[in-house]
């Protein structure tokens, strides 16, 4: 794997089942550890990816499991690591956090963790495929 300026892509597809979140975490641990991130930064990335996969699996399961995979697409660049967690579950009408939800609601805590641990976080729907994409970036600060 040559880390050139254009970035190197590493893709992993996991079944949208809780048992496989640990597989995604292990993979991202391997990728982030190849970059000069600190131990704490690698742990931050691992936790954020775990949360993102958990969220994607919940979306797929809420959509009756018709789209049974979650894709994790990592782009390794010289000064940053981008990770996209992609699922094909259709967008739901309901907001992700119900107004009456406790501030310590589990789903909200996952979102809070991702936003704090990563430098850039963005959610979007791919206009071509309709897939839900959670894009996260961690920058190398040194």
Residue 101 or 141 having the CB closest to another protein: 101
Query: Least distance in Å: CB of 122 to another protein?
Result: 19
Judged by the rule CB under 8 A, the positions of this chain that interact with another protein are: 18-19, 21-22, 25, 40, 43, 46-47, 50-51, 54, 57, 102-107, 109-110, 112-113, 116-117
Q: Are 48 and 40 in contact (CB under 8 A)?
A: no
Cα–Cα–Cα angle for 71, 72, 76, rounded to 5 degrees: 145
- Calpha distance 111→4 (Å, rounded): 31
Nearest one of 58, 48, 113, 56 to 81, comparing CA atoms: 48
What residues does 69 pair with on adjacent strands? 15
- Calpha distance 67→87 (Å, rounded): 8
Residue 50 or 84 having the CB closest to another protein: 50
Query: Least distance in Å: CB of 84 to another protein?
Result: 19
Helix pair 39-62, 21-33: axis angle to 10 deg? 150
Residue 8 or 107 having the CB closest to another protein: 107
Query: Least distance in Å: CB of 9 to another protein?
Result: 26
Residue 16 or 86 having the CB closest to another protein: 16
Query: Least distance in Å: CB of 8 to another protein?
Result: 26
């Amino acid at each position: 794997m040559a880390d050139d300026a254009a970035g190197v892509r590493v893709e992993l597809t996991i079944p949208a089942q809780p048992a496989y979140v640990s597989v995604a975490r292990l993979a991202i641990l391997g990728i982030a550890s190849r970059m000069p991130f600190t131990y704490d930064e690698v742990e931050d990335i691992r936790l954020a990816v775990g949360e993102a996969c958990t969220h994607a699996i919940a979306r797929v399961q809420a959509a009756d499991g018709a789209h049974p995979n979650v894709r994790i697409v990592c782009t390794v660049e010289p000064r940053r690591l981008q990770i996209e967690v992609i699922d094909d579950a259709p967008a739901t009408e309901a907001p992700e956090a119900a107004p009456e939800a406790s501030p310590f609601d589990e789903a909200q805590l996952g979102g809070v963790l991702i936003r704090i641990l990563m430098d850039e976080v963005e959610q979007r729907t791919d206009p071509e495929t309709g897939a839900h994409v959670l894009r996260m970036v961690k920058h190398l600060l040194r």
